[in-house]
Amino acid sequence: MYPPKFDYYRANSIDEAFALMGQLGDAKLLAGGHSLIPALKLRLAAPSALIDIGRIGELKGISRNGSTATIGALTTHATVAAASDLPAALTEAAGWIGDPQVRNRGTVGGNIAHADPASDLPTVLTALGATMNMRGLNGARSVSADDFFIDLFMTALGEDEILTSVDVPVDGAGTAYAKLFNPASRYAIVGVAAKVSVSGGQCTSARVALGGLTPSAVRAPSVEAALVGKALTADNIAAAAAQVGGDLDDVMGDIHASEEYRRAMAPIYVQRAVSKAAERAG
């Protein structure tokens, strides 16, 4: 299937992109194209124009400032997967996206702005407590991952805004990502990211997020509450994971997995992600 016809524009700077967005009616921003082009082919979107921001150098690359890593929106999944100083949950999730072609072209910003419910990065960034940085004609603003992912393919990003970067805390906590995936696309049927800190043999903080189950990535507050203050033994992790059902409304079902199966897999993958994160927390 071929995408519907569109006009193609290339922006060489963020300002040029804003100018084009103002000028063109229903344009869409094109980064790596690995979410947008399939959506066009499936006729899920039919913008009259695409503004290619893929060559804007200032949006690429990873920098570090103290305990915060800043990932430019146009950084590819392959670059993230190969990074040595990012949380393990993020690098392993990026390394499991699609296939090498997808990872070499697909971008972090494009992925999270698209906000596919089966996508990995929204789940991971929610668990890591990341912050999305965006710029509009009226200036820049930042939104936490908890508030950024609103619904199916819907984020806090305004129509006249560009996602510029993501801030990820790098604080020595143990993190991990585990997923049950579609073997063809590697999209998550159930994806779970966990971030735990351990002190004196006890869990001092926990963030657990799930994707693939609900229209957008969600935290699992019941699981988190059940972990904090406990030793991260296999039994305690299993008991906490069993709480996850209460954190999930509106679980989706489709030809790849029924709602019932997805619900049943949630605690299994919570257990797997938290166990691995706990090992990494030392």
Partner 1 sequence: MMRAVGSTLSRVDVVDKVAGVAQYPGDIDLPGQLWMKVVFAGIPHAQINALNVDRARAAPGVVAVLTAADVPVNEYGLIIPDQPVLCGPGSTPTAAHVRWEADQIALVVAATKAQAEAAAQLIEVDYTPLPVITDPLAALAPDAPRIHANLPDNVLYSYRIRRGHMESAFAQADVIVESEYRTHAQEHAYLQPEAGLAFVRDDGRIEVIIAGQWMHEDRQQIAHALGLPEEQIVVRYPAIGGAFGGREDMSLQIVLALAAWKTGRPIKTIWSREESIVGHHKRHPFIFKAKWGATKAGKVVAAQMDVISDAGGYMYTSNKVLGNALVACLGPYDIPNVHVDARTVLTNNCPGGAFRGFGGPQGHFAAEMQMTKLAAALGMDPVELRLQNVLRDGALLPTQSVVPPGCTAAETLEEAARRGGWMQSADGRWQRAAHAPSIQSAAGPQASARQTSLDASRRRIATGVGIAVCYKNVGFSLGFPEHCYAKVELYGEAEIEKAVVSCLGADVGQGAHTAFLQIAADALNLPPERIELQVEHTDITGSSGSASASRLTFMAGHAIQGAAAGALQEWQHEERPARCEFVFHPRPTTMYDPETGVADPSVTYGYCAQYAEVAVDLDTGHVEVTRLVSVNDVGKAINPQLVEGQIEGAAAQAIGWTLLENFIQKDGRTLTPHLSNYLIPGVLDIADVIEPVILEIPDPQGPLGLRGMAEMPMIPTAPAIAAAIHNATGIWIDQLPIVPERMWTALQAQNGA
Which of 21, 27, 180, 198 binds partner 1 (CB under 8 A)? It is 180
Tokens 């190969």, located at residue: 82
Bridge partner list, 27 = 49
Q: What's the min distance (Å) between Cβ of 237 and partner 1?
A: 8
Chain residues 223-282 in contact with partner 1, contact rule CB under 8 A: 234, 255-258, 261, 264-265, 268, 271-272, 275-276, 279
Size of the site for partner 1 (CB under 8 A): 21
Tokens, residue 271: 């257990």
User: Closer to partner 1 at the Cβ: 48 or 233?
Assistant: 233
List of E strands, 119-217:
131-136, 139-144, 149-151, 154-155, 161-169, 174-181, 188-199, 202-211
Q: Which of the ranges 10-18, 81-89, 181-189, 207-215 carries the binding residues for partner 1, by CB under 8 A?
A: 181-189
Nearer to partner 1, 48 or 258 (CB): 258
Name the residue type at position 22. Answer: G
C-alpha dihedral sign at 41, 45, 46, 49: negative
Q: Indicate which single residue of 66, 100, 183, 200 sits in contact with partner 1 (rule: CB under 8 A).
A: 183
Do 160 and 140 touch, CB atoms closer than 8 A?
Answer: no
> What is the nearest approach in angstroms of partner 1 to the Cβ of residue 263?
12
Residue among 103 and 256 whose Cβ is closer to partner 1: 256
Distances in Å between the alpha carbon of 267 and those of 34, 177, 188, 246, 270? Answer: 30, 14, 15, 11, 5
Judge contact between 112 and 150, C-beta under 8 A.
no
The residues of the shown chain that bind partner 1, judged by CB under 8 A, are: 1, 178, 180, 182-185, 234, 255-258, 261, 264-265, 268, 271-272, 275-276, 279
